[in-house]
């Protein structure tokens, strides 16, 4: 194991001073499911690992607020996946959380950590994009909030500046009754990474939203398709045109796990499945397309 030092601050202030302290190269530790292995293989070599779990301002709680749900930085994926209010109101979020890794991973990994790691295949990001979630950031210069769409910048890069950490993620309730769904394709049924992940949202006001993971440098919303589908997603011609927009917006690569062509094909299949599922959930029949 590479040598590093360790600190377990109890306040954000202490944490910031450590993060911006002289020696650093410091890495914040929440769930550790990415960090610890990255250190082992040399992908990350922090001089200092800072435990976040004892910081009193940080929380693992999932709080139901007036306007939406506030997910604390330390909230673990297994609790997010099982949270009744989140499941009812934001099924895509809980479904995506439930598909990450294994039970053991979900019992440590945090959603905040998942978005900070910013893998192109990060499962929670498309679901958060559907709901225009906000990422609440704290740093030595104060706090700021950033829409999730601006938070993830490029593979493994976020907009966090040196010394900043995610404090919480806020997911606002949609204006109208709605539901959503997350589907993904992987190489096996058990713990795996997404080859393609699709999150879909449908509301009783005929709004459809769509976001995809693992088919671009970051997850993204398919706004072009969404505006076409506003005209009637279940009309075959409108559906096809929208679907073509989704495929156009995707830039999948060929890698060890799948080829570009296969990913493009999967996008169509999963998009149909996700949208159909969301429509079914709000009580609209899926249609013949």
Applying CB under 8 A, the residues found at the interface with another protein are 1-9, 13-14, 16-18, 21, 29, 32-33, 36-37, 40-42, 48-49, 51, 53, 78, 101-105, 107-108, 140, 185, 187-192, 256-259, 262, 265-266, 269
Select 37 or 154, whichever has its Cβ closest to another protein.
Answer: 37
Select 109 or 135, whichever has its Cβ closest to another protein.
Answer: 109
Minimum distance from CB of 227 to another protein (Å)?
26
Select 5 or 157, whichever has its Cβ closest to another protein.
Answer: 5
Minimum distance from CB of 250 to another protein (Å)?
16
Minimum distance from CB of 53 to another protein (Å)?
7
Minimum distance from CB of 100 to another protein (Å)?
11
Tokens of 229: 């589908």
Judged on CB neighbours under 10 Å (0-12, 13-18, 19+), 171 is buried
Torsion of CA 81, 82, 85, 87, to 10 degrees: 50
Return the number of other C-beta atoms located less than 10 Å from residue 219's C-beta: 29
Select 107 or 284, whichever has its Cβ closest to another protein.
Answer: 107
Minimum distance from CB of 36 to another protein (Å)?
4
Distances from the Cα of 150 to the Cαs of 133, 147, 153, 163, in angstroms?
11, 5, 7, 18
Minimum distance from CB of 62 to another protein (Å)?
16
Minimum distance from CB of 109 to another protein (Å)?
9
Tokens of 237: 């011609």
Select 97 or 258, whichever has its Cβ closest to another protein.
Answer: 258
Select 9 or 126, whichever has its Cβ closest to another protein.
Answer: 9
Which DSSP state fits 110? Answer: B
Is residue 85 within 8 Å of residue 43, measured between CB atoms? no
Q: How far apart are CA 159 and CA 56, in angstroms?
A: 24
Minimum distance from CB of 49 to another protein (Å)?
7
Helix (H) or strand (E) holding 62: strand 62-64
Select 167 or 171, whichever has its Cβ closest to another protein.
Answer: 167
Return the number of other C-beta atoms located less than 10 Å from residue 180's C-beta: 28
Select 4 or 173, whichever has its Cβ closest to another protein.
Answer: 4
SS3 64: strand
**Dihedral of alpha carbons 116, 120, 123, 128, sign:** positive
Q: How far apart are CA 174 and CA 130, in angstroms?
A: 10
Distances from the Cα of 36 to the Cαs of 3, 5, 160, in angstroms?
12, 13, 20
């Amino acid at each position: 194991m590479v040598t590093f030092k360790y600190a377990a601050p109890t306040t954000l202030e202490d944490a910031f001073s450590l993060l911006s302290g002289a020696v650093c190269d410091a890495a914040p530790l929440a769930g550790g499911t990415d960090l610890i292995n990255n250190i082992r293989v040399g992908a990350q070599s922090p001089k200092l690992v800072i435990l976040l779990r004892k910081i009193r301002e940080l929380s693992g709680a999932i709080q139901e607020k007036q306007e939406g749900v506030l997910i604390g930085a330390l909230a673990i994926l297994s609790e997010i996946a099982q949270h009744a209010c989140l499941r009812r109101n934001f099924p895509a979020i809980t479904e995506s959380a439930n598909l990450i890794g294994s039970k053991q991973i979900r019992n440590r990994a945090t959603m905040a950590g998942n978005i900070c790691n910013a893998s192109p295949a990060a499962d929670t990001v498309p679901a958060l994009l559907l709901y225009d979630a906000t990422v609440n950031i704290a740093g030595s210069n104060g706090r700021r909030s950033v829409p999730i769409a601006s938070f993830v910048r490029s593979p493994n890069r976020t907009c966090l500046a040196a010394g900043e950490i995610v404090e919480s993620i806020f997911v606002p309730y949609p204006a109208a009754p709605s539901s959503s769904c997350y589907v993904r394709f992987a190489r096996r049924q058990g713990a795996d990474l997404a080859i393609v992940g699709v999150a879909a949202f449908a509301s009783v006001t005929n709004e459809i939203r769509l976001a995809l993971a693992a088919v671009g440098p970051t997850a993204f919303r398919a706004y072009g398709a969404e505006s076409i589908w506003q005209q009637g997603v279940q009309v075959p011609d409108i559906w096809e045109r929208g679907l073509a927009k989704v495929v156009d917006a995707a830039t999948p690569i060929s890698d060890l796990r799948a080829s570009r062509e296969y990913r493009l094909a999967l996008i169509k299949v999963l998009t149909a499945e996700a949208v159909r599922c969301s429509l079914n959930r709000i009580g609209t029949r899926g249609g013949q397309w």
